[in-house]
Every structure is written in structure tokens, then in C-alpha cells.
Chain A
Amino acid sequence: MVSFRSSFRPRAGERVLTSRRFVVPVSGGSVDQRLLESLSKICFRQAADITLVYVVEVEQSMPLDAELPEEVNRGEAVLRQAEDLLRHDLDPGTVRVYAELLQARTAGAAIVDEATDRNADVILLGATLRRQFGRLTVGDTVDHVLKFAPCEVIVIRQALPDWITESMEWS
């Protein structure tokens, strides 16, 4: 006997939900923790492929494949920490976590390329506000990703630090 509904029931081993693919740049900055917490919430009880990305930006004065052991070590440490946190919070049965250490001229372009290559559904990234040439900016990376990412982008910007709020005339 074949019931109507059962034809939609997955066979053993098949997954109902296609997993969403996340690309998540981490930098080791203060916004990382909020980023990972939010990611855990978004992915809770969901199937997801998460690629953590750390980009080592190589100055033009060096070739792109220059050996940068210090930066690479730092990147690896940041990635390891983020991975541990996610593995602790999320169910390894439904969520797969990958880590990518990239060396590139600019982080923004590297993140967009990674998202394109992995056919990502979402880029989730953190923004830190700072002052550059007298104006507030979230930086070139966030700018670039917002403009050129092929997929959805979620940006988490931390609350304004006091030094900025205090410098604003309306505050």
C-alpha cells in the first residue's frame, strides 16, 4: 500500500534539507565572537556547510606567494579557535565546518572569489567601524563584498564604541 505522503518521505541516508552554504570571514578581531554566535543561531537544527575564511593580505611590495609565517600562524590560530567554537555549538551530524587560509592582495576580492567558487548561499561577515582620513568607514573589505558578492550578504556591525559616539556632535 502506498500512501500519498510516504512518497515524500526520504529514504534512509537521504537528507530532506539541502544544506545552506555559508562563507564566513574571520579576522581575529573583537567582532568574530558575535559573528560566530550569530552563525550558530542561524544554523541551529539546520543543515549547513560553513567555510571559515581567513585572508592574509600581501602587500604589493612582496610577491603574492611570499612566505609569511607569522601571518599564516596567526591565521591558523584564528581559524582553529573559530572551528572549535562552532563544533562545540553545532551538531556535527548536520553541520560541516571547513577552514580556508587564503593569501591575497585584498581580502574583499578573496572572499568574493571563495563564495563564488563554493557556490555559497550566504556570506556572513563582521564589520568594525573606524575612522580613516577623518571619516567613519567600515573598511574596503565590507564595501567590496557588499558590492560584488554573488550571494546574500549578512553584515554584523558591533555597537559604536564610546570614542566614536563621544566625538559625534549630536551625542
Chain B
Amino acid sequence: MNVVVMGSGRVGARVATILDQHGHRVCVVDTNPDSFRRLGDSFGGDTLIGTGIDEDVLRRAGIEDADVFIAVTNGDNRNIMAAQVARTVFEIGHVILRIYDPVREDTYRRLGLHTVCPTTTISAMIIDQINDFLPAYEEI
């Protein structure tokens, strides 16, 4: 499988590393070359400096042959725009993006994007754990 990952932060680098270890062809795009250090020495995929909201950069990252596009930079709006470029311009079937803002996440999920919202997910996990050791507070 060919994968383009935009954003080489903790999440992006980890996802890229794991996919690489599983034998997929991965290209990571980030504006900051220093961030590629997170990928580690054993990373066998490609890296490209640039922003994923630029069609040319995505093209050079091999988006035209990609099966999956993942947008996990720290900017919600950047992820949203890049994901829509991948879906609309390059017609990538599997586009996954991170949106921190729950309202924005909800809005774009309704528009048909595969969104992940760490804010709601992590909050729910914490509440779950509280419920586990404090059964009396189930109503939280």
C-alpha cells in the first residue's frame, strides 16, 4: 500500500514508522526538516520538505499513486485543507485527518471526511477510567 503522511510530529512519525515496518511504501511530508528525526534511523520510507496544502508538494510525495493520505500536522485548518485537496483533486479514497477542535471535527465528519479528534477521544478515555475506579460517579 502507498501512504502519504503529512506532518512528522509524534503521531505522524509513529504512524509512518509502523506502516514502514509493515512493509508499506510511506512518504512523510513536513515543513520542518528537523521533525524527520522522529522517524528514527531504521525508517525506510521517503521524506519531503514542504506543505501538504500545496498540490505540487503532494504530487512530488507521490499522492497520485497513493492509497491512503493521512493529515496529522498540528494545524487543524492545514489538515482540513490538505485532506480536501487529497480527496477532491487527487480522488484518494482513504483520507484520514486529525482535528483537535471537536466542533470543527464534527462539522467535517458530517461532510464525509474520516476525522480523528484527540480532544474528545482522550477526554472520553479519562472519564472512562474515572468511572472504572469510581463507580459511584457513573453520571460524569
Establish whether A and B are touching in the complex (CB under 8 Å).
no
